[in-house]
A and B are shown apart, each in its own frame.
Chain A
Amino acid sequence: MNREKVVFSFFMILALTLNFGFYVGEIDNPNHHNVYELFAVVIVNLIATVLKFGDRSQMGAMLLATSLVALVQLFSASIVWTYVVNIQGHTMTPEVMVTIISLSGGALIANFISVILLIIETSMMRH
């Protein structure tokens, strides 16, 4: 068992599960989507991205790309949230929530692809 691989897979899968947790619920209901969960998703995704740095293989490049996509989506979601709540000073409305959740839905797909790639890579390894 390779410890590096465990940490690597752990963060990638955690990114997916947290992302999913934030995503599920009615899309326009702010009560169904927790800000702490979004924070956790961003942090875990950041770590997962950094873990993919410096891998020169083709698979490594693909994994890094999907992670970067997820990050871009999540950052946009958090920026929308910050802009509306902290800069404009409004309370969270269903319309804004829809935007945030659809952005995080994109990130969910990117994270999903990441995990699929990870599974493919693992299953291609022969003992």
Chain B
Amino acid sequence: MSLVTSLIMRQMRAPIIILIIGYAISVLGMVLTPGLDNDGNVWHMSFFDAFYFVSYTATTIGFGEIPYPLSNAQRSWALFTIYLTVISWFYSLGKIISLVQDPTFREALKINQFKRQIERVPNTFILICGFGETGHALTRALTEKNIHTVILENNNHLIQTLPLEDFKLVVPGIKGDASNPEDLIVAGLQHPKCAAVIAATSSDETNLKIAVTSKLLNPEICVICRSEIAEYESNMFSFGTDFVINPFDTFANIFGMAMHSPSLHLLYDWLTGVEDTDLTNPVYIQDGHWIICGFGRFGQGLYQQLLKSNIQVTVIDPSETKRDIFLSRPENGNNDFIIGTGFDAHTLTVAGVTEAVGLVSGTDDDSNNLSIIMTAREINPELFIVARHNKKNNEKLYEATNANIIMQPSEIIARKIRSLLVSPLMIAFLNKARNQDPAWANITISRIVGVLGESLPNIWTLHVNGEEARALCKVLRLGRIIRVGNLLQDPRQREQQIKAIPLLLKRNHKLLLMPSDDIAIKSGDELLFCGTPGAMRSMSWSLNDIHSLNYIMTYEEIQDSFVWRAAHQLIKRNERRNRPRQNRHRIK
């Protein structure tokens, strides 16, 4: 018996017993009290009559005095019956209503509903702790990819608004403290369907606690942590957290990529972006003098990247201790550190904003950042601006500033985690791509544009195994050779190509970037493709349907039913018989 039914039953004991006793007394009294029939004889109600009478009286329906008008004795008992039974009904109803409003009961009901929703998840789910901006962006991204998510969030308001969000899948959510192991278990940490835990709360300490709890209670599980402070990061790694994502480091790396090779950055942007949106334009970061306002985690990360490229930088920050540390390092010799906030024209002019090519507004306060951008743009409209965006609700303001790159921590984290979970090969691809020269990225980009046109590609991974590629594996077992290029043929019109590009081939831990069309596929391979949604569907036809695959490979069509197969064989035999003699001989 579940907790909820048990709770109801236990609470309902007293009201039901009172009802039973009330009815019993009334019915018995009605039977015992003498009445008179139409002829004036003494008459007693049977139990059946009495129960009928009491039932319609107690529920205030009141059919009247049947079968005979009641005697005065019966009427006086009926009076008693009315008060007794109606009052017991009121009492019972009151009890039921108060039970429904009982907080314990409601909580039990919510947990029950949550558990049922989890049971209805068809395959695996990912537990997301914290439904802030990161959790929200992540949930949207994962549900778009048909990956089920479950939310654990401390803020009751956010949980209540969860059913109002228009996610593609049902997202079960429960209120609870993610740093409390019991709440994590209730949220499904030890559920066999739970595939991964993402600690995406805003506090590094809570995230650390989530990672520890998850690894202790369910060592098999994949744990992904958001972390903004380096000490916590190394602590998280120390006990086997699978991935720790630091938004500032991640962004600094992306920024470095954009500086080093704009086309590679563009490729990254396309392949990790939201599907079916318009393609973005490349970002070109010029060499010259840069100004960094705000020397926190964000500013320092970007500073390191600029330093690597030997770019002259002026830092503006109000902290004197930071200045002392900055100036004591020998590698910072060429660069300046100005004490100030940066949102006044004077400081910016002193820092050299008139000749500068780029400006980073990287304080942790949105109004300061916006003010810096506005002031700097007024002095030097040509500036390349990198803005740090802290709070989600200021999105419109940042868009209005026309900053060249806007860094939003939650967006960065959501993007990275989505790539990790949806297509692990994508990370391998991007890591390998980083080592290629910029010309390679240019060629890849023009290929993608050539095949896919104007919108961002879908990314999918093909695992060559019996589950995901039934027909393909069957044919491979027969010893036929199927090449990458064959998969790119349209199963409706084999001369045409579907709109997809193979990005990476993984075979026995070896990675091959942009596999060419003539590579033969082997069982156990993993292939990463990008393409249109239509191409993805077409490809799944040729992978799983033996007829489509046969058509592509220009083998003859196989006949499905017995009659057709027999007819087919008959035609074949006749063809052979009617063939010219020497020809037949040669075939032998």
**A-to-B contact residues, CB < 8 Å:** 35-36, 39, 43, 46-47, 50-51, 53-54, 56, 61, 78, 82, 85-86
Minimum-distance CB pairs A-B, first 5: A54-B10, A54-B9, A53-B9, A86-B48, A43-B24
B478 CB–A CB distance under 8 Å: no
Q: Given A43-B20, A61-B1 in contact, is the A82-B10 Cβ separation under 8 Å?
A: no
Contact yes or no, B6 A56, CB < 8 A: yes
**B-to-A contact residues, CB < 8 Å:** 1, 6-13, 16-17, 20-21, 24, 27-28, 31, 46-49
Determine the chain B residues whose CB is within 8 A of the CB of A51 once the complex forms: 13, 17
Contact yes or no, A50 B49, CB < 8 A: no
Shortest B308–chain A CB gap in Å is: 65
Shortest B4–chain A CB gap in Å is: 11
Complex Cα spacing A51 to B12, Å: 10
Contact yes or no, A39 B47, CB < 8 A: yes
Which of B7, B13, B47, B48 gathers the greatest number of chain A CB atoms within 10 Å? B47
Shortest B185–chain A CB gap in Å is: 20
Determine the chain A residues whose CB is within 8 A of the CB of B13 once the complex forms: 50-51, 53-54
Interface of chain A, helix or strand or loop or mixed?
helix
Shortest B440–chain A CB gap in Å is: 66
Shortest A111–chain B CB gap in Å is: 17
Complex Cα spacing A43 to B24, Å: 7
Contact yes or no, B16 A50, CB < 8 A: yes
Determine the chain A residues whose CB is within 8 A of the CB of B12 once the complex forms: 50, 53-54
Q: Given A47-B20, A47-B21 in contact, is the A39-B28 Cβ separation under 8 Å?
A: yes
What are 18 residue pairs bridging A and B, where the CB atoms are less than 8 Å apart in the complex? A39-B24, A39-B27, A39-B31, A43-B20, A47-B17, A50-B12, A53-B13, A54-B8, A54-B9, A54-B10, A54-B11, A56-B1, A56-B6, A61-B1, A82-B47, A82-B48, A85-B46, A86-B49
Contact of A50 among B7, B17, B27 (CB under 8 A): B17
Complex Cα spacing A53 to B7, Å: 9
Determine the chain B residues whose CB is within 8 A of the CB of A54 once the complex forms: 1, 6-13
Q: Given A35-B47, A61-B1, A82-B48 in contact, is the A53-B21 Cβ separation under 8 Å?
A: no
Determine the chain B residues whose CB is within 8 A of the CB of A61 once the complex forms: 1
By beta carbon, the residue of chain A nearest B20 is A46
Shortest B17–chain A CB gap in Å is: 5
Determine the chain A residues whose CB is within 8 A of the CB of B1 once the complex forms: 54, 56, 61
Complex Cα spacing A58 to B161, Å: 40
Complex Cα spacing A50 to B20, Å: 10
By beta carbon, the residue of chain A nearest B27 is A39
Determine the chain B residues whose CB is within 8 A of the CB of A43 once the complex forms: 20-21, 24
Determine the chain B residues whose CB is within 8 A of the CB of A39 once the complex forms: 24, 27-28, 31, 47
By beta carbon, the residue of chain B nearest A86 is B48
Determine the chain A residues whose CB is within 8 A of the CB of B9 once the complex forms: 53-54
Determine the chain B residues whose CB is within 8 A of the CB of A35 once the complex forms: 47
Complex Cα spacing A82 to B21, Å: 21
Determine the chain A residues whose CB is within 8 A of the CB of B21 once the complex forms: 43, 47
Complex Cα spacing A82 to B46, Å: 9
Complex Cα spacing A96 to B24, Å: 25
Determine the chain A residues whose CB is within 8 A of the CB of B10 once the complex forms: 53-54
Determine the chain A residues whose CB is within 8 A of the CB of B27 once the complex forms: 39
Shortest B219–chain A CB gap in Å is: 32
List 4 additional contacts besides A50-B12, A54-B13; criterion CB under 8 Å: A51-B17, A53-B10, A54-B6, A86-B46
Determine the chain B residues whose CB is within 8 A of the CB of A78 once the complex forms: 47
Shortest B96–chain A CB gap in Å is: 14
Shortest B23–chain A CB gap in Å is: 8
Complex Cα spacing A50 to B17, Å: 7
Complex Cα spacing A95 to B20, Å: 31
By beta carbon, the residue of chain B nearest A51 is B13
By beta carbon, the residue of chain A nearest B1 is A56
Complex Cα spacing A62 to B21, Å: 25
Complex Cα spacing A50 to B12, Å: 8
Determine the chain B residues whose CB is within 8 A of the CB of A82 once the complex forms: 47-48
Complex Cα spacing A61 to B48, Å: 32
Shortest A126–chain B CB gap in Å is: 26
Shortest B48–chain A CB gap in Å is: 4
